[in-house]
Amino acid sequence: MRALFGWLARNLGTLLLSLLLALVVWVSAVITADPNRQQTTRPVEIQVIGQDPNLLQVGSVPRQAVLTLQAPQSIWDQLNNNPGLISAWIDLSGLGAGKHQVEVKARVDISPVRLIRVEPEEVSVVLEPLLRKTFPVELTLRGSLPLGYQKSDPTIVPKEITVTGAESVVNQVARIQTTLDISGATQNIQQIAPVEAVDGNGLPVVGVSLSPREVNIEMSVNLLGGFKNAAVKVVTKGQVANGYRLTNIIVSPPTVTLFSDNPKLIEQIPGFVETMPVDLTNLTDDLEIAVDLNLPSGVTLVREPNVLVQVSVAAIEGTMTLSVPVEIVGLAPELRAIISPETVDVIVSGPINLLETLTPANFRVILDLTGLPAGVYQRSVEVDLSPKEVRVQTTLPESVEVTIELAPTPFGGQTPTLTPTFTPPPAITP
């Protein structure tokens, strides 16, 4: 044992030097394999802790911080893959109303990491007391009711709005307002409308919270005495032209307001009034005409002198089939074409009175062979339609077979030889 201790005492320096050299070699190997890097992180959101609930921040405060770190490359890889390992915050514990310079603190939940600096290092925070005020809702009416109608006082629920925010901002609020448009209203109004906080100049105040943000508005709208609403019934006479049909009749406005100094006359009018007769005799096109109402004496129409009647007329349609020969165009002069079939059936639709006048001469069925060499083809035909009111539904068949070949020349392709003949003159008799 004494010999062992003696050996250790004599070689202790050598052992310590060996250990130190081994440690240096190991650290050098680790650094070579995983080198340290100093760089900045992605922006990190600055959290706020410890703020008095009766105080509010006023003004703009930086919301993000950037950290400069020194760490091995393997640590940077983990930080880039998991940004949640880095956090930044400001602590407002114990701070009252006023302006404060607060340090931005940061933490990295992984090691080994060295924190070099945080930008910004501190931020300026202004705290103000939280203030709540209650304001009555002021209603502004826009537009007006039609002639002959009256409105009641509006009912607003709730009547008051609570405004919450920083003291300096809430003190800018002069009133809470909302708007209701009553233009052309003829029935009771029930509407949910948003409210707005404005200052003394009528400009919106931002940075405050309104509770609630909407109100329910109700208002009664009624006719005055001597007025009455009635639907308009269009009266017609005559019939549209043969081959046409009546498709629609529209009257504008569909309801009118009537007035009379004699309330009994208004009470005697039913829920509708008739127009003067609109003549449809031999009508072949749409009609738009201003028409008077057939009103009792002493009853007048409010606002408009008459109503506008729109009559829609359409032709009664049918279909027919015509057999039309196929006409070739674009064929080279040295070629000829054989078509099968030589005629196609053209099915058309349109007004019946017009279909009755059509013949195959009104149509051309064209087969375009431009640029085609000799051969056998299936080609679609085209229909050249003359009457604009008629529509082609289909052709039967839609395509034909055409055989293109060289056209035969006269005399079998050989030039004939002409043999001269002699005709003797007539004999002369003395």
Residues 288 and 261 occupy one common structural domain:
yes
Rg (CA), the chain: 50
Picking from 315, 332, 363, the residue at the C-terminal end of a domain is: 315
Residue that the structure tokens 């000829």 belong to: 336
pLDDT at 425: 45
Picking from 287, 315, 343, the residue at the C-terminal end of a domain is: 315
CATH code of residue 252: 2.170.120.40
- Three-state DSSP class for residue 121: coil
Residue 5 lies in a domain: no
Residue 162 lies in a domain: yes
Pairing verdict, β 64-72 and 114-119: antiparallel
pLDDT at 161: 93
What are the tokens at 396? 């039967």
pLDDT at 423: 45
Residue 53 lies in a domain: yes
The Cα 392–Cα 374 span in angstroms is: 31
243: burial class by Cβ within 10 Å (0-12, 13-18, 19+)? middle
365: burial class by Cβ within 10 Å (0-12, 13-18, 19+)? buried
Number of Cβ atoms within 10 Å of the Cβ of 400: 20
Residues 377 and 342 occupy one common structural domain:
yes
pLDDT at 420: 46
The Cα 126–Cα 96 span in angstroms is: 9
Residue that the structure tokens 């003159």 belong to: 425
Triad 408, 409, 411: Cα angle to 5°: 115
Provide the edge-to-edge strand list for the sheet that holds 155-157: 155-157, 214-219, 189-194
The Cα 361–Cα 378 span in angstroms is: 25
Residues 106 and 177 occupy one common structural domain:
no
Consecutive 10-residue runs of the chain (430 residues): their mean pLDDT?
A: 64 69 58 72 89 83 88 86 88 87 89 87 88 91 80 90 90 92 84 92 89 91 78 88 87 85 79 88 89 85 84 87 89 88 88 84 88 88 81 86 84 48 42
Pairing verdict, β 307-315 and 363-368: unpaired
Residue that the structure tokens 């406005």 belong to: 253
Residues 361 and 331 occupy one common structural domain:
yes
Residues 291 and 321 occupy one common structural domain:
no
Residues 311 and 321 occupy one common structural domain:
no
Pairing verdict, β 227-233 and 272-274: parallel
Residue 382 lies in a domain: yes
Residue 212: domain span: 130-223
Residue 240 lies in a domain: yes
Number of Cβ atoms within 10 Å of the Cβ of 148: 19
Name the amino acid, one letter, at 408. Answer: P
Residue 16 lies in a domain: no
From residue 150, give the alpha-carbon distance in Å to each of 138, 226, 414: 21, 13, 106
Residues 219 and 247 occupy one common structural domain:
no
Residue 163 lies in a domain: yes
Picking from 223, 254, 283, the residue at the C-terminal end of a domain is: 223
Residues 90 and 143 occupy one common structural domain:
no
Record the pTM: 0.48
pLDDT at 162: 94
Residues 281 and 311 occupy one common structural domain:
yes
From residue 30, give the alpha-carbon distance in Å to each of 17, 19, 74, 410: 20, 16, 11, 105
Residue 189 lies in a domain: yes
CATH code of residue 89: 2.170.120.30
Residues 217 and 235 occupy one common structural domain:
no
pLDDT at 25: 57
Residues 311 and 322 occupy one common structural domain:
no
Q: In the chain, how many domains are there?
A: 4
pLDDT at 415: 45
**DSSP secondary structure, 338-383, as one string:** EEESSEEEEEEEEEHHHHTT--GGGEEEEEE-TT--SEEEEEE-EE
303: burial class by Cβ within 10 Å (0-12, 13-18, 19+)? exposed
Residues 380 and 300 occupy one common structural domain:
no
Q: Write out the H or E segment, with its range, that includes residue 169.
A: helix 167-170
